[in-house]
A and B are shown apart, each in its own frame.
Chain A
Amino acid sequence: MTVKRIAFVQELLKFMGLEGRLHLEWISSAEAQKYVDVVTKFTEKIRNMGPNPLRAINEMKKAG
């Protein structure tokens, strides 16, 4: 079920221009190194993408 939902939400976020910010990875409790690698890689990726654009939009009180 999780993979189905994630696959769908990834598509939806892409449509909204928010792609790349959701990721799913299967990691067993025995795979400590994989956990470290994935979290590090994803953290790097998010950092490189810059701040959450929604924050700017929600703080924007006036247009035009």
Chain B
Amino acid sequence: MTNSIAEFEHDSKAIFVIGSNTTACHPLIASRIIQAKENGAKLIVADPRNIQLARLADLSVNHRLGSDVALLNGMMHVIIQNQWHHPDYIADRCEDFDAFKAVIDMYTPDRVSDITGVAPKDIIRMAELYSQNAPAALLYAMGITQHTTGVDNVKSCCNLAMLCGNVGVKGGGINPLRGQNNVQGACDMGGLPNVFTGYQPVSDPGANKKFSDAWGVELSSTPGLTITDMIEAIDQKKIKAMYIIGENPKLSDPDWNHLNHALKKLEFLLVQDIFLSETAQSADVIFASAALGERDGTFTNTERRCMRARKAQDPVGNTLPDWQIISRLSSAMGYAMDYDSAETIFDEITGLTEKSYGGMTYERLGINGLQWPCPNPDHPGTPYLHKETFARGKGKFHAIEYKDPAELACGEYPFLLTTGRMFAHFHTGTMTRVSRHLDVEQKTGYVEIHPDDAMTIKIKSNDPVLLTSRRGQMEVSARITTDVMPGNLFLPIHFGENPTNILTSSNAFDPLAKIPEFKVGAVRIERLIQ
């Protein structure tokens, strides 16, 4: 997030939520949005599904799956036509506006309406609400990113925010809501194939030397592989062993059949987790790790806030905190890691990540934590980014054309399937399905289908149906609801007995970010005769 969660409640005059089922997936951020709305802020919601937040919106639209670029371009077309944009901000702080405008000029409300299914008057109203109530915050989640056009979608969100001078402003900003409490932290720590901590490239000689010196080894300057590439590499036997920590790719990665086929080719699989996940069940060796509350450490959340997690009790049984397991494994393999505490490791991180974490210490983090960049011990942290100038200098407008998703509905696969989370469970359910109270809410998987479609294929609520995609088939029970549009289906991802990813594709991914298109796929749905 460029901005902070609290600003939605106190500073934003308009909040535009696109591709985020916020009340179900980020309830505490939803709480701020509700508060803002009740205090008079305008709320715009765009989502292919009828989400709960839409009930509170001043305007809500259901655009077609994967049509985000067109919808955003359409809003920007209206804004420029009505001169609701901020020419001074654009001239002072941005670049490449003309090439961008040339593309936007083509996206008239009528044309956009044809692509998105949203009425022209709603596109105009959305543009007006967003641009005429400043500062306006733009919030998105996986509904924007999990597409073959994920990067295009994100760039379009940035275009819109810059067009209205909403970046570098309190209460504005571009705010991706992260899918896990510590995704931001994992990325900050170099949990990506091409960077060290704080996004310092492995290929940058200076950064590489700094880390090589600090760790007393010569480090590779060649980027590693993304998850998407790793599966292919296993298939081609270029990767023979895998060490998976706190992740359950058997449920979370696309194309289940392909993945399982690949995983069988591994000569050795090591899994480290707090529970015996689907992935751990097929491991050669399992390291049981300590859970939250049994270990010290930090999380960095979606608003770049690094916070301490404190140990409340000793780990159960013979489990160990992750850092101790990694240290022991490393030492056993010949590179001694002899940290005496999580804090020692944090101090090493801050020493090597000067620009963003340099000013942080456990003592300074306290309970509220600090938001990076926090480069020195006196720095109060940064509630919002790009204040005077953009990190790269000028804010770059990208001219983006709408592209269809990888799969469209067709005769053989007439429905479009989208996947996501529901409120009672988290991700692959490893941590939530063991809770009795959450199990009461949702015991197993289901597919949401519109009442009209249910009538066409002659099914009643809870009837079993068969879903077929180009990758595979799965059986699941139907939930009939107007929460999905006619022609669309929704599957929650939490349930190992109905693994959504039997249906999804591992070939449809964003060319840059390599993120799979979990949000659109063509399927067929059939009634199962009882």
- Which chain A residues have a beta carbon within 8 Å of chain B's beta carbons? 59-64
Q: How many residues of chain B get a CB closer than 8 Å to chain A's CBs? A: 10
The CA-CA distance from A64 to B53 in the complex, in Å, is 12
The CA-CA distance from A27 to B394 in the complex, in Å, is 81
Residues of B within 8 A of A62 (CB): 50, 54-55, 57, 60
The CA-CA distance from A2 to B50 in the complex, in Å, is 40
Q: Which of B49-80 contact A (CB under 8 A)?
A: 50, 54-60
Contact, CB under 8 Å: A61 / B50: yes
CB proximity of B180 to chain A, nearest CB, Å: 29
Least CB separation from A63: chain B residue: B55
Judge if B482 is at the interface, Cβ distance under 8 Å.
yes
Contact, CB under 8 Å: B58 / A64: yes
Q: Name 11 A/B residue pairs within 8 A (Cβ), A-sorted.
A: A59-B482, A61-B50, A61-B54, A61-B482, A61-B483, A62-B50, A62-B55, A63-B55, A63-B56, A63-B57, A64-B56
Residues of A within 8 A of B56 (CB): 63-64
CB proximity of B327 to chain A, nearest CB, Å: 52
The CA-CA distance from A64 to B54 in the complex, in Å, is 10
The CA-CA distance from A61 to B50 in the complex, in Å, is 7
The CA-CA distance from A50 to B53 in the complex, in Å, is 29
The CA-CA distance from A63 to B50 in the complex, in Å, is 11
Least CB separation from B58: chain A residue: A64
CB proximity of B485 to chain A, nearest CB, Å: 11
Extra pairs beyond A62-B50, A62-B57, A62-B60 (5, CB < 8 Å): A59-B482, A61-B55, A62-B54, A64-B57, A64-B58
Residues of B within 8 A of A64 (CB): 56-59
The CA-CA distance from A61 to B61 in the complex, in Å, is 11
Residues of B within 8 A of A63 (CB): 54-57
Residues of A within 8 A of B58 (CB): 64
Please name the 3 residue pairs, one residue from A and one from B, whose CB atoms are nearest each other, closest first. A61-B50, A63-B55, A62-B60
Least CB separation from B54: chain A residue: A62
The CA-CA distance from A16 to B57 in the complex, in Å, is 23
The CA-CA distance from A39 to B482 in the complex, in Å, is 35
The CA-CA distance from A60 to B54 in the complex, in Å, is 10
Q: Which of B17-63 contact A (CB under 8 A)?
A: 50, 54-60
Least CB separation from A59: chain B residue: B482
Least CB separation from B61: chain A residue: A62
Residues of B within 8 A of A61 (CB): 50, 54-55, 482-483
Mark interface residues in B483-524 (1 if CB within 8 Å of A CB, else 0). Answer: 100000000000000000000000000000000000000000
The CA-CA distance from A32 to B482 in the complex, in Å, is 44
The CA-CA distance from A63 to B57 in the complex, in Å, is 6
CB proximity of A56 to chain B, nearest CB, Å: 13
Residues of B within 8 A of A60 (CB): 55
CB proximity of B124 to chain A, nearest CB, Å: 16
The CA-CA distance from A62 to B60 in the complex, in Å, is 7
CB proximity of A61 to chain B, nearest CB, Å: 4
The CA-CA distance from A60 to B483 in the complex, in Å, is 11
The CA-CA distance from A61 to B56 in the complex, in Å, is 9
Least CB separation from B42: chain A residue: A64
Least CB separation from B50: chain A residue: A61
The CA-CA distance from A64 to B218 in the complex, in Å, is 61
Residues of B within 8 A of A59 (CB): 482
CB proximity of B522 to chain A, nearest CB, Å: 26
Residues of A within 8 A of B50 (CB): 61-62
Mark interface residues in B460-495 (1 if CB within 8 Å of A CB, else 0). Answer: 000000000000000000000011000000000000
The CA-CA distance from A47 to B57 in the complex, in Å, is 34
CB proximity of A62 to chain B, nearest CB, Å: 5
Q: Which of B210-250 contact A (CB under 8 A)?
A: none
Least CB separation from A57: chain B residue: B55
CB proximity of B34 to chain A, nearest CB, Å: 12
CB proximity of B81 to chain A, nearest CB, Å: 25
CB proximity of B216 to chain A, nearest CB, Å: 61
Least CB separation from A64: chain B residue: B58
The CA-CA distance from A62 to B58 in the complex, in Å, is 9
The CA-CA distance from A62 to B62 in the complex, in Å, is 11
Residues of A within 8 A of B483 (CB): 61
CB proximity of B209 to chain A, nearest CB, Å: 57
Least CB separation from B49: chain A residue: A61
The CA-CA distance from A59 to B57 in the complex, in Å, is 16
